[in-house]
């Protein structure tokens, strides 16, 4: 298929662009296979707006006489309005955008066409390999092994080819355990807590069904992570009720009788359309133009977004606490183990492990706990807050995770190497990107699509010093301790950087940020100067002394 077929009107002149807090600008609109490009040639202020079609969440058209207006709502939550003279042009453009923003073939997506203009220092596809992770682990413990059981994705389609499992469990046993877990997602290592050797594992629900099926190998596997005489905790991210209902469909939960050394805790984290609706309501509230304060607060409340944040953070704190404070190992799972499970395991690591609070460590966390762990990005991030199609599998699971990270960052502004912009950037790229990183639903699909060969990795772009400097937190001072966030409602806030980004003027906040950077920069410069002078003085003095001695 040629994109040209979809583009009936590639170019329109005298188009007016409206954006909140900006003056309307007139310019030319061009459509290409992957971009909507608006350029104004006003001499004083030439500007261009490039919008990926895949970033477009929904499009509306309106007509007043022969003047057509299209309103474009993006996945990054921005809304722009284009006034296009000419009914036919407007209709053509609208239908082209609609077609181009809803291409169903992944291989037609922009990452397959994108050619980077920057020099690649390090191939991001090879930056975070499981072997490296395991090497780090084997420096501190020899109780775990790297299993290649899933090499051809034959055991578990949503797992990576290699996983870390207890040394004492052989591949044969793993195969049996896989049969006993939903989607074959058998328990694997998620995190090893160096401080006390406790671990966090993740999996999907056990397939106990109504008749209480059991699997000795499964019991053996998870017991293998316990120290003699110690107990562990199973954190089930569903309410007890939901978990019980799952039995009717063949799923279920670990029964006390078969897992006597484990205590099960149910923490209810919502899933799927409940989250998607929450996002839709929240964004609606943020875009509400009314002047009424009460309405804002009740709409914020009714969206339940912050409630979800609180639930997720609480579960993550609990997992972290079991590991760090109770000295117990933890197994986390929900139903599939691809959504709420990953929110909990990844946030717990941010709380526990200072490495995850660095830029590189956080990228590694996203790769391990989200991409390799098989979070179905393509399904979940297909549409954002303005979508009309209510598909069951769309859900802002990853955005909620990023929001939780932002909440912790806000409470510990000096403990993270990255800043808010870094998180916003990840949100944008998860929904629409020129890079292949977030394409596909799991490693299996990614390898079939040959993404590493055919597309560029987001990490190749981010991890260059030009880009990194934008994402560095000037306040960062390595904090090697566990950081415990507060989950009280008073401590949780709306993430304005994402949700109010396009509807509030940010000039004054940006200025403050700049001021902050300058203060720290000046301090560093002075430090360097003082050190240089000190050195110079010391040298001169030794010279003098030598001369004297002569």
Map the footprint of another protein across residues 464-483, applying CB under 8 A: 475, 477, 479, 481-483
Q: Does 540 bind another protein (CB under 8 A)?
A: yes
Q: Is 199 exposed, middle or buried (0-12, 13-18, 19+ CB in 10 A)?
A: buried
Query: Of residues 19, 138, 496, 501, which one binds another protein by CB under 8 A?
Result: 496
Question: Which contiguous run of DSSP H or E holds residue 343?
Answer: helix 340-352
**Separate counts of helices (H) and strands (E) for the chain:** 20, 14
Nearer to another protein, 47 or 514 (CB): 514
Q: Does 294 bind another protein (CB under 8 A)?
A: yes
Maximum C-alpha span of the chain: 97
**How many other C-beta atoms can be found within 10 angstroms of the C-beta atom of residue 275?**
23
Nearer to another protein, 469 or 547 (CB): 547
Q: Does 356 bind another protein (CB under 8 A)?
A: no
DSSP 158-210: TS-S-EEEETTS-HHHHHHHHHHBGGG---EEEEEETTTTEEEEE---B--TT
**How many other C-beta atoms can be found within 10 angstroms of the C-beta atom of residue 226?**
16
CA–CA gap between residue 231 and residue 210 (Å, rounded): 26
Q: Are strands 79-85 and 11-18 parallel, antiparallel or unpaired?
A: antiparallel
From the CB of 420, what's the least distance to another protein, in Å?
12
Binding span for another protein by CB under 8 A among 48-56, 245-253, 319-327, 442-450: 319-327
Q: Is 288 exposed, middle or buried (0-12, 13-18, 19+ CB in 10 A)?
A: middle
Contacts of 65 (CB under 8 A, 6+ apart): none
Query: Of residues 326, 387, 428, 452, which one binds another protein by CB under 8 A?
Result: 326
Q: Are strands 25-31 and 11-18 parallel, antiparallel or unpaired?
A: antiparallel
From the CB of 237, what's the least distance to another protein, in Å?
13
Binding span for another protein by CB under 8 A among 72-80, 172-180, 389-397, 487-495: 487-495
Binding span for another protein by CB under 8 A among 90-98, 211-219, 320-328, 374-382: 320-328
**How many other C-beta atoms can be found within 10 angstroms of the C-beta atom of residue 62?**
12
Nearer to another protein, 172 or 510 (CB): 510
Nearer to another protein, 410 or 464 (CB): 410
Query: Of residues 14, 154, 210, 486, which one binds another protein by CB under 8 A?
Result: 486
Q: Does 345 bind another protein (CB under 8 A)?
A: no
Q: Does 47 bind another protein (CB under 8 A)?
A: no
Footprint of another protein on 499-518 (CB under 8 A): 500, 503-505, 508-509, 511-512, 515-516
From the CB of 348, what's the least distance to another protein, in Å?
13
CA–CA gap between residue 238 and residue 205 (Å, rounded): 10
Footprint of another protein on 219-278 (CB under 8 A): 233, 240, 263-267
Query: Of residues 208, 304, 372, 460, which one binds another protein by CB under 8 A?
Result: 304
Query: Of residues 415, 441, 457, 463, which one binds another protein by CB under 8 A?
Result: 415
Query: Of residues 487, 495, 498, 502, which one binds another protein by CB under 8 A?
Result: 487
């Amino acid at each position: 298929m040629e994109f040209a077929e979809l583009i009936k009107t590639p170019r329109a002149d005298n188009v007016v662009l409206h954006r909140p807090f900006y003056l309307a600008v007139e310019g030319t609109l061009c459509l290409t296979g992957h971009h909507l490009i608006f350029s104004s040639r006003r001499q004083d202020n030439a500007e261009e707006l490039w919008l990926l079609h895949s970033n477009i969440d929904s499009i509306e058209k309106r007509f007043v006489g022969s003047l057509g207006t299209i309103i474009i709502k993006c996945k990054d939550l921005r809304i722009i309005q284009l006034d296009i003279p000419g009914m036919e042009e407007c209709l053509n453009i609208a239908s082209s955008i609609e077609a181009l923003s809803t291409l169903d073939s992944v291989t037609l997506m922009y990452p397959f066409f994108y050619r980077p203009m920057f020099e690649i220092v390090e191939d991001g596809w090879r930056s975070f390999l499981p072997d490296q992770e395991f090497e780090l682990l084997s420096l501190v413990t020899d109780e775990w092994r790297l299993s290649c059981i899933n090499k051809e994705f034959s055991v578990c389609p949503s797992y990576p080819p290699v996983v870390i499992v207890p040394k004492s469990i052989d591949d044969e046993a793993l195969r049996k355990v896989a049969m006993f877990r939903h989607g074959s997602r058998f328990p694997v290592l998620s995190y090893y807590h160096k401080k006390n050797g406790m671990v966090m594992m993740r999996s999907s629900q056990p397939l106990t069904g109504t008749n209480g099926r059991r699997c000795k190998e499964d019991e053996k596997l998870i017991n293998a992570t316990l120290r003699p005489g110690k107990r562990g905790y199973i954190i089930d991210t569903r309410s007890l009720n939901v978990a019980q209902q799952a039995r009717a469909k063949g799923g279920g939960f670990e029964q006390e009788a078969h897992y006597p050394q484990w205590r099960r805790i149910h923490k209810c984290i919502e899933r799927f359309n409940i989250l998607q609706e929450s996002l839709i309501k929240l964004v609606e509230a943020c875009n509400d133009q009314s002047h009424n304060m009460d309405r804002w607060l009740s709409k914020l409340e009714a969206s339940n977004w912050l409630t979800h944040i609180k639930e997720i953070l609480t579960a993550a704190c609990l997992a972290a606490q079991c590991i760090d404070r109770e000295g117990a190992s933890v197994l986390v799972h929900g139903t599939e183990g691809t959504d709420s499970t990953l929110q909990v395991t990844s946030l717990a690591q941010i709380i526990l492990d200072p490495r995850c609070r660095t830029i590189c460590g956080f990228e590694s966390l996203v790769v391990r706990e989200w991409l390799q762990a098989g979070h179905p990005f393509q399904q979940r991030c297909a549409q954002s807050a303005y979508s009309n199609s209510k598909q069951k599998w769309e859900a802002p699971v990853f955005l909620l995770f990023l929001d939780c990270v932002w909440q912790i960052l806000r409470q510990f502004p000096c403990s993270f190497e990255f800043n808010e912009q870094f998180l916003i950037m990840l949100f944008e790229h998860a929904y629409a990107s020129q890079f292949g990183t977030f394409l596909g639903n799991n490693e299996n699909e990614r390898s079939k699509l040959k993404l590493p060969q055919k597309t560029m990795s987001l990490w190749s772009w981010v991890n260059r010093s030009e880009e990194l400097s934008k994402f560095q937190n000037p306040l960062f001072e390595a904090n090697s301790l566990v950081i415990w966030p507060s989950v009280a409602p008073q401590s949780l806030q709306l993430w304005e950087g994402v949700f109010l980004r396009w509807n509030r003027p940010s000039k004054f906040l940006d200025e403050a940020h700049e001021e902050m950077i300058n203060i720290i920069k000046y301090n560093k410069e002075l430090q360097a100067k003082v050190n240089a002078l000190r050195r110079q003085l010391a040298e001169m003095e030794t010279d003098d002394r030598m001369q004297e001695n002569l």
